[in-house]
Amino acid sequence: MDSPFLKSVFADKFADNTNDVSVYASPGRINLIGEHTDYNGGFVFPGTVEQGIMAVIAPNSLDRVRAYSLDLDDYAQWELNDTEGPAATCFRFVYGIMRELKERGIDIKGFDTVFAGDVPLGAGMSSSAALESCFAFGLNDLFKQGEGISKWDMVLAGQATEHKYIGTNCGIMDQFASVFGKKGSLMRLDCRSREFEYFPFAPQGYKLVLVNSCVKHELAGSPYNDRRRSCENVVKAIQSLYPDRQVETLRDCTWDDLNKVKSLCTQEDLQRATFVLGEKDRVLAVCDALIRNDYEEVGRQMYLTHNGLSKDYEVSCEELDFLNDIAKACGVTGSRIMGGGFGGCTINLVKDDMYDCFIQTVTEKYEGKYHITPKIINVVIGDGSRKIQ
């Protein structure tokens, strides 16, 4: 992303605004393992990529926000006290963040903004969290008095924006990653306690590479929310069996609990919970394996996650299963769907000496079957939300 260019677009679109501009950036994310565990109080293992969203912002002297999306060539404006907000999704993220920051005590005044990004949309790399985090960070920086809000408040403002203004009942992984990301490190987050630690990640002899299927089958909202509801149904069944126990999420449930509520839950809900319980254990197994530099074990766990996401959680699709099969056939160490599912990327842990052959094979075979060229993204772990200028 190019900040001088974005600033020149700003100067062109908002020629009447002569205030100083500030430039902010927030990245998309990868997740090594721990999928659909965040809203179940489990562990996740994300890191941020170099690709993200950049925004040029300057206060104006109007009680209004004027926003231009360079990528979509779309413009919207709204009053600061507007309670409906704009219709187009990309602006609803900005509007939602503005409202959430106001609720957290930031006195947001009128501003103009131009934003753009290089994180692919619908790829499971959290372009929307990057957009939310960019504005949460930027608007806090511009309008705070004193300390402003904490980084965790920025994360929660982003999540609340998804819940209230977009309709996706997401967890906290994506916004957390985008705000807290650190160059060269993955982060293991306990989504229940919100404690986390940075894990330097530079595997010798391996590369992390995303293969973007370039398909997105369903609208993110409803099937995602259905999965979350299934998990909550199982929690409710366990609570009804053990009213004296503190059971808030599937994090608090054991395999034994799951066995005991078999007759109280639908087969589908049980299947979803089976995946989540397994995934909780897999994140911890991957952390242990990383400490031992045992990348074969990391890869084995990644394949198990793919299988669970595909068969039990049912968030895969034909194209992603195909990409996973090719990775396996090529002897790739680990491969799985990344993010919410229903399309987007696979994340692959590939030995250096296998890399060229894998990329060539996966490209040819995917093109041959679907007539789509998959996009290859080599992962470079970059920094989280920041001010560029």
Options 38, 174, 257, 269, the catalytic residue: 174
For ligand GLA, the closer of residues 174 and 312 by Cβ is 174
174 assigned to active site: yes
CA atoms of 170 and 48, how far apart (whole Å): 18
Q: Which one of residues 13, 36, 66, 306 is an interface residue with ligand GLA (CB under 6 A)?
A: 36
Q: What part of residues 38-67 is at the interface with ligand GLA (CB under 6 A)?
A: 38-39
CA atoms of 65 and 71, how far apart (whole Å): 19
Question: Binding of ligand GLA at residue 132 (CB under 6 A)?
Answer: no
| Residue 283, token pair as written in the block | 């994140």
CA atoms of 68 and 46, how far apart (whole Å): 30
Closest separation between CB of residue 31 and ligand GLA, Å?
A: 6
Q: What angle do CA 206, 209, 211 make, to 5 degrees?
A: 150
CA atoms of 67 and 111, how far apart (whole Å): 8
Residue 373 DSSP one-character state? P
For ligand GLA, the closer of residues 36 and 306 by Cβ is 36
Site string for ligand GLA, 145-174 (x = CB under 6 A): -------------------------xx-xx
Closest separation between CB of residue 91 and ligand GLA, Å?
A: 19
Site string for ligand GLA, 63-102 (x = CB under 6 A): ----------------------------------------
- The interaxial angle of helices 295-311 and 318-330, nearest 10 deg, is 150
* C-alpha dihedral (181, 185, 188, 191), degrees to nearest 10: 0
Closest separation between CB of residue 249 and ligand GLA, Å?
A: 13
For ligand GLA, the closer of residues 148 and 171 by Cβ is 171
Closest separation between CB of residue 158 and ligand GLA, Å?
A: 10
Distances (CA, A) of 15 to 19, 108, 109: 10, 22, 19
Q: Which one of residues 96, 122, 334, 339 is an interface residue with ligand GLA (CB under 6 A)?
A: 339
- Is residue 51 within 8 A of residue 28, CB to CB? The reply is yes
For ligand GLA, the closer of residues 112 and 132 by Cβ is 132
Site string for ligand GLA, 210-249 (x = CB under 6 A): ----------------------------------------
If binding means CB under 6 A, how many residues of this protein chain bind ligand GLA?
Answer: 11
Residue 107 DSSP one-character state? -
User: How many Cα atoms occupy the beta-carbon half-sphere of 122 within 13 Å?
Assistant: 11
Distances (CA, A) of 85 to 63, 76, 89: 14, 10, 10
Kindly list the catalytic residues: 174
The footprint of ligand GLA (CB under 6 A) covers: 35-36, 38-39, 126, 170-171, 173-174, 339-340
